Amino acid sequence: MIKVLVVDDSFFMRSLISDTLNSEPEIEVIDTAKNGSEAIKKIPKIKPNCITLDLAMPGWDGLTTLKQIMSQHPTPVVILSAHSKEAANITIECLNAGAVSFVLKPSGELSLDIEKIKEELIKEVKTAAKVKVGKIKSLIAKPLKPPRRKLIGINKIVVIGASTGGPQTLEAILSSIPPGFPAPILIAQHMPTISFTQSLAAHLNDSCQLIVKVAENNEIIQASRVYLAPGGFHVTIEPSYVTCDQYTSQELGVTSQRIICLNEDETDSLTPSIDITMKSVAKVYNENAIGIILSGMGDDGVEGMRAIKEAGGKTIVQDESSLIFGMPKAVIEAGYADKVLPIAEMVSAMVECVTA
């Protein structure tokens, strides 16, 4: 039985969230709290397996409460966030402060239609409850030690797939990559809306020596830049041929690559799809593609890594240090992982693959 503490300043939201979670036989809401200070007092007494935490509360807001939880009584936390830009920014801060994941309220702070996210909320609570506290604390410690290898590049690309636990891991990795990285980095991180991807990109850009941005449709990609697939969209890479005097670059054998954003299915929770992005990268870059799978639940990325491996590219997955060892494990079991590495060795492996 998964024991849950629900923290929300609204009596109605506490009741609705509790009823929603209690409808799942494997979950029991053992208590609620109307603010952060009350939650901190209850945690050591009731010892919940997971906490759902509202962002907008009087007194301690969600971020302040989360930091107190992580410092005093580390426990897996699922954030309940609104759809606003401000909420997206704070949610990204929460993920980097130790929250496992987040779920969007369907209709703002007072969402009486919480039933709409019932399945997602139950899934995230179940996933979070399985996370060991030690893994959460290890993600908060940053950055990694950067590699010393001289960066001399050729036409290669790194494509990264991530889900739950991904934003925290991405910051640890990207903040340790030295400037002048001789390849573009394309990231498919499961995110519900573009506003959250924009907040994540801004946060990563502030902490990295590379330029980090949300990918734009028809954008020509460049080395030393990191492109995040926009939340809610699938992203592919396609060759772009440009006229050069009397000849086209295709005739000259010279190509650049451009990003294509496809809004194929707004109801698909696996957006952007890691498989779709990786398959397109494998088709364009062949043996020059480096695929990486980080923390996440499920098996999105297995087919993409297969495509990269079969095209002659390199494949790397995060080891059991992953917050959620679902996606990496699926790639390993399918036989498509060339290397299985902890976060601390990921950057050196990326540099080695790109400069080889």
Helices assigned H by DSSP within 79-220 = 85-96, 118-129, 133-140, 166-174, 194-207
CA dist 223 to 151, 154, 175, 180, 182, Å? 12, 10, 16, 8, 5
| 84 given a catalytic annotation | no
In whole angstroms, how far apart are CA 283 and each of 78, 257, 266, 287, 345?
37, 12, 25, 9, 27
The dihedral of CA 227, 230, 235, 240: what is its sign? negative
| Biggest distance spanned by C-alpha atoms of the chain | 77
Decide if 225 contacts 210 (C-beta within 8 A). yes
190 in catalytic set: yes
Of the residues 54, 275, 299, 300, only one is catalytic, namely 300
Q: Exactly one of 8, 54, 190, 322 is catalytic; which is it? A: 190
Residue 253's contacts (CB-CB under 8 Å, 6 or more residues apart) are none
DSSP β-bridge partners for residue 117 = none
Vertex 214: Cα angle to 213 and 220 (nearest 5) = 85
> Of these residues, 163, 175, 280, 295, which one is catalytic?
163
Bridge partners for 80 per DSSP? 54, 103
Residues written for the chain: 356
Active site residue 275: no
Q: Write out the catalytic residue numbers.
A: 163, 190, 300
